[in-house]
Amino acid sequence: MNKAPAGDDGLGTLCARWRRHTVAEGWRVPEDWSSPAVVPFAYAVMHGLPAEAPAQALGTARALADVGITEGLRDVGALYDLCRASMPVSVTLAFAAGWETTDTGPDPQIAARGMSGLPQHAEFLARAADVFAGIESTREGGSLVLVTIDGRVGRIGSAGRLARWKRDVLLGEAVRLSFGEDYPTGYRDGVAVALGRSEPAGRVLASVARARATLSSLARENPSILRAPVRITVRPLPDDLDTLRGLITADDAA
């Protein structure tokens, strides 16, 4: 990795800026951010050194502090943003490995989301029901659409646990980067879903194109983990929740 510029900041100043930046991005409990593990990781990124080992240690620390993997990875990304560098996939996976293999994991609700960091389908359907009922808005107009992203490449058996969570991490990050917080999302075993609206024109298509490009790049680097090309479908939503549930179940079984 090339040396990541950090201006004239010393390590302590960089860590302080990192904390302010990640809190501004939505870190839930600012008092819980500080950890000894942030220092060696910040040092590695600041000086362009291999960061996988300190990233794994930071992942372990975050899991022990009941920080979800989504929040933890966003925090890691915030440091790379400050240093004007791209976060390597190897660092993402190292952080995830530390988080996933920690003996004392986060609370059950966070753990249930698994390595993708996305809600399970049951939570997605609950949010979809609220959208149908007008309780929750997708902040857009037009008709409702269902986006399905299938990244599965064959079957991954019990011996492929490492490959499975690598796939889940990569798919989860791609979905979050592409669709953001405005879209209710769900995930199960290599298949992600997102709920959006057709207006403003091109919004959903732009998100789909971003997801396709991101996953195509990741699939080239991980051909045994991600489908290439990824299969993405955009369909009008049915009028009722039971039919939507049936569509998702059929996609999972395909």
- 61 Cβ neighbours under 8 A, 6+ residues apart: 35, 36, 37, 98
Mean pLDDT of the chain: 81
What DSSP assignment string belongs to 24-39? Answer: HTT-S-GGG---TTHH
pLDDT for 189 equals 86
Domain stop point among 61, 78, 112 = 112
Angle, alpha carbons 19-24-27 (nearest 5°):
70
Residue 113 tokens read as 């989301």
- 81 Cβ neighbours under 8 A, 6+ residues apart: 21
- Mean pLDDT value across residues 186-191: 89
In a domain, 39, yes or no: yes
pLDDT for 164 equals 78
**Residue 6 clears pLDDT 90, i.e. is over it:** no
Q: What percent of the chain has pLDDT over 70?
A: 83
Are 196 and 72 within one domain?
Answer: no
Amino acid residing at 155 = R
Range of the domain at 103: 11-112
What's the pLDDT band for 31 if we cut at 50, 70, 90?
confident
* Tokens 């049915």 belong to residue: 238
- Mean pLDDT value across residues 145-170: 76
Q: What percent of the chain has pLDDT over 90?
A: 23
What's the pLDDT band for 1 if we cut at 50, 70, 90?
very low
Q: What is the pTM of this model?
A: 0.61
Task: Please write the tens of the pLDDT for every residue from 75-99.
Answer: 999 999 999 998 888 898 899 888 8
CATH code of residue 211 = 3.30.70.270
CA distance 56 to 59: 5
Are 105 and 122 within one domain?
Answer: no
In a domain, 3, yes or no: no
Are 184 and 104 within one domain?
Answer: no
Question: How does strand 231-236 pair with strand 191-199?
Answer: unpaired
Task: Please write the tens of the pLDDT for every residue from 113-143.
Answer: 566 778 888 888 888 888 777 765 555 566 7
Total of domains in the chain: 2
Task: Please write the tens of the pLDDT for every residue from 200-235.
Answer: 767 888 889 999 998 988 888 778 888 888 899 999
Are 46 and 126 within one domain?
Answer: no
Are 66 and 172 within one domain?
Answer: no
